[in-house]
Structure 1
């Protein structure tokens, strides 16, 4: 794809932001319509409920991995200089950060991407959560919490392994990604068939998953056409929230524009428009019956802000984008996030004798 005409018109930073904007609009729209959330998928596992979120999640993840690995296998993109493989990565950061993030998303009742979507749809609880996540993420990314992040992240790295690439570590080679992708596709098809997932959710999972390889492809092509070096990347929400805060703090300085800023803005716009078009926009506050105390949301959001940066991403950034690249730390972080969420749900929320399954059998929505 040729970005040169657009670069010559609006400049490199704005063009990069435009890529993120398009990806974010699509993600926000489909995530709002389907309720896509890793926390909800984890709750279905935790509570043994046969709902819609786990198969939706599996479709998206299988599509992300298969699409990305197909591009790598075909030589269309090269991920070796990206944030997952360009330098040694932190295994301890993936474990500790992923676990903290998982605990946080269970307490705040939604992962970071879901909370952004909910905030754009009128949920003021999510707005508070995103504000806390953003501030703590910024402090962990480039503020006063950097020493703590470095201390936790330096406990165990991929240096002894010599790689962060599952394809290299496995010894299988170039076909590893396609094999893993095929296995995930088979698993997703089996679960979807058992759950009889509606067409909207199947389409939503395919589109959300396809955005990951699309992000890798577009950002990689962009990186080949600019003078200032940029790293190819795909969807994420932790660093982008911190960088969006930098952009706002700069007063809209164009040099602060990036795919990160565009992605956050696009997700907000896509979710907002979708909620208006389908009449699901509704102002929700802490005064609603059954809503946990606001301090629970604050605590959970703070854990996500710190844990997400430590793990080098949220469930989307580390889990989907890193997982699709077959980054060892990405898969570890995703597993730790899901494990942390399940453990927290079992300890804090799940009461078998009091749980009444909704008519469609889904877990409680992320809100």
Structure 2
């Protein structure tokens, strides 16, 4: 994809922001229509179910792998040029940050991407949690929490100053990633049919995965055409949330792909909810929910920066190029989320049932 003609009309920064907005809009619209959510999928697994939410997440993940791996084989994208593959990865950051993020997204009732989508449709709970996530992410990137993040990330890192390609590590032949993605997508479709999920929802679940590939191709193509260095990246919400926050609060108004991404998601999700008449103001129902959401947002903000990305950035975007630390972070997010639901939400639900039975008066028959 050649962006040279567009660079005659727009400077590199403005074009990058425009491409980010377009990628974000595709994600926002598709995520709102498909109800894509990693937390919901992990909760199903924690409760020994493999239901519609798991099918949607699995289809999104697998189609992201399919689209990205197909783009690599077609020469539209080179993963070695991506940021996630060209910098030192952190095994310890993936483990600790992934667990923190998994715990946080269950407490907050949504990962950072899901919170942004819900906030765009009028969910004030998600708006507050998303703002806290962005503040903590910025603190972990350049603020008071940055030394702690760097310390934990330095415990155990990948060799040779770059990340590890899982496919190359096991000596898999070319096209293995695409085949794995297709097989997984076929299973996800089979699961979705058994759970009677409509084809419209499946189409938009695949659209979320498509947005990941679009982001990779856009930034890679722009990097090939631009005179100034361009970071090759795709969908993620930890770094862009922190960058967008500082963009709005300071006089540093430098544009790039990340700055356009967040407004694009907001627009896409809002438009989807508007067209489907799902715009609705919602807030916290009680104080306990507020405390949970705020704590969850803090854990996700720090955890995402430590893990090298959020549920989308590491879990899908990094996973689509088979970055080893991204797959490890995703696994740890699942572990943290499943354990949190089992130990907190299911335990509380059982306690409520027992308490309800104890309060039920005994009647004589």
Tell whether the structures are fold-level matches, with TM greater than 0.5: yes
SS in structure 1 opposite 2:85?
coil
CA contact (8 A) 1:50 1:195 kept: no
Q: Which runs of 5+ in 1 are unaligned?
A: 357-367
- 1:345 maps to 341
Q: Residues 250-269 of structure 1 correspond to what in structure 2 (within 5 A)?
A: 250-251=250-251, 253=253, 256-269=254-267
User: In the alignment, is residue 21 of structure 1 matched against residue 17 of structure 2?
Assistant: no
- 1:322 maps to 318
Runs of 4+ in 1 over 6 A off after TM superposition: none
More deviation, 154-163/195-204: 154-163
- 1:202 maps to 202
TM-score (normalised: structure 1) = 0.91
**Aligned length, in residue pairs:** 352
Q: CA RMSD in A?
A: 2.0
Per-residue deviation, 1:252:
6.6
More deviation, 298-307/142-151: 142-151
Q: Which runs of 5+ in 2 are unaligned?
A: 354-365
SS in structure 1 opposite 2:159?
coil
Per-residue deviation, 1:159:
1.3
- 2:223 maps to 223
Q: 1:142 to 1:252 in 2, by over 3 A?
A: closer
Per-residue deviation, 1:193:
2.9
Q: Residues 173-184 of structure 1 correspond to what in structure 2 (within 5 A)?
A: 173-184=173-184
Q: Residues 116-195 of structure 1 correspond to what in structure 2 (within 5 A)?
A: 116-159=116-159, 164-195=164-195
Give 1:300's match in structure 2, choosing from 281, 296, 301: 296
CA contact (8 A) 1:84 1:164 kept: no
Who wins on radius of gyration, i.e. which is larger?
A: 2
Q: Write the distance in 2 (CA, Å) between the matches of 1:187 and 1:161.
A: 36
TM-score (normalised: structure 2) = 0.91
Q: Write the distance in 2 (CA, Å) between the matches of 1:163 and 1:248.
A: 32
- 1:275 maps to 273
Greater percentage in helix: 2
- 1:103 maps to 103
SS in structure 1 opposite 2:86?
coil
Q: Write the distance in 2 (CA, Å) between the matches of 1:183 and 1:34.
A: 21
- 1:5 maps to 5
Q: Write the distance in 1 (CA, Å) between the matches of 2:208 and 2:170.
A: 28
